[in-house]
Amino acid sequence: MRIAIVNDVTLAIEAMRRVILGSGAHEIAWTAMDGAEALDRCCRDTPDLILMDLIMPKTDGVEATRRIMACCPCAILVVTANVTDNCSKVFEAMGAGALDAVNTPVLEWPGSCKGAADLLGKIETIRKLIGVPPALRGASHPTDSSPAAGHLEGRLIVIGASAGGPAALSRILGYLPANLRAFRTGPCKLVGRSDPLAGEACPGRRLPCTGNHPAGGPRPAPDRHQAAQAGIYTGAERLLLSAIGGRFFQ
């Protein structure tokens, strides 16, 4: 994966850099010394994952996470000196869109890093979560924007929604390919419509959503008023769409 590091301590940046490059499975996209710089860099070059510190000058990690998830969403792992001591800010950052938290690795003599295994373990978990292949991802990207059926074979998307979730869920599903085979369990009521498809497979069935488009045509942007009422793209929505976007649609 392409990983960015945001931390105001040079030794911490160096420790994470050594751990990441030493794994042989990832590369450094860029580094930043505070949240404001991270936001600027992320908007110009969005990485697969950001290792985000919490306590920084100018813009801290919580606010940086909130702004990144609103403008240029990507996976964020909180890396702080002590997760337990900073638990309050850790929960704030995760509420803003961060996926997990881990202690900052510490350089030791001779050339080793305490906590390296913990950091790499968290990175690997997130890599699997967002669907990046284990090898280094090349710079080239597929140019075909049509969602071929072959791209969907062998893949499973599981989405759970509780109270307040159906509106966001309907919007996410509205951006998936029309030929996606859907399977729902349990009674559900989405967008004011009772749809008791308990355990029934329904190939090609689409849920109503804003911005329906002609078959084969471009997808228009959702109506801004309706989108605002639905809470336009929360951090979770943006991360999910970003994670599956390159695999199922452009």
97 and 177 co-located in one domain: no
pLDDT(247) > 80: no
pLDDT at 48: 96
63 and 161 co-located in one domain: no
Q: What would the mean pLDDT of 198-210 be, rounded to a whole number?
A: 39
Asked, for residue 139, whether it belongs to a domain, the answer is: no
Q: Which of 245, 237, 250 is nearest to 97 (CA)?
A: 237
27 and 102 co-located in one domain: yes
Asked, for residue 95, whether it belongs to a domain, the answer is: yes
Which residues partner with 29 through β-bridges? none
CA distance 197 to 183: 8
CA distances to 72, 136, 186, 188, 248 from 141, in Å: 18, 13, 38, 37, 13
Out of 62, 95, 130, pick the residue that ends a domain.
130
For residue 211, give its domain range: 149-248
218 and 98 co-located in one domain: no
Longest Cα–Cα distance in the chain: 64
Of the two residues 111 and 52, the one the predictor is more confident about is 52
Within 8 A by CB and 6+ apart from 114, the residues are 105, 106, 108
114 and 19 co-located in one domain: yes
pLDDT(38) > 70: yes
Q: Of 65-79, 156-170, 232-246, which gets the smallest average pLDDT?
A: 232-246
Out of 130, 158, 179, pick the residue that ends a domain.
130
pLDDT(142) > 50: no
Phi-psi group of 154: left, alpha or beta (phi > 0 → left; psi -120 to 50 → alpha; rest → beta): left
126 and 154 co-located in one domain: no
> What band does 53 get if pLDDT is binned at 50, 70 and 90?
very high
pLDDT at 202: 40
159 and 123 co-located in one domain: no
116 and 169 co-located in one domain: no
217 and 98 co-located in one domain: no
14 and 108 co-located in one domain: yes
71 and 177 co-located in one domain: no
Q: Which tokens go with 121? A: 């373990």
100 and 176 co-located in one domain: no
Cα angle 188-191-192, degrees, rounded to a multiple of 5: 80
Q: Of 43-47, 126-130, 156-160, 201-205, which gets the smallest average pLDDT?
A: 201-205
Q: What would the mean pLDDT of 202-228 be, rounded to a whole number?
A: 43
- The model carries a pTM of 0.59
Task: Quote the number of domains for the chain.
Answer: 2
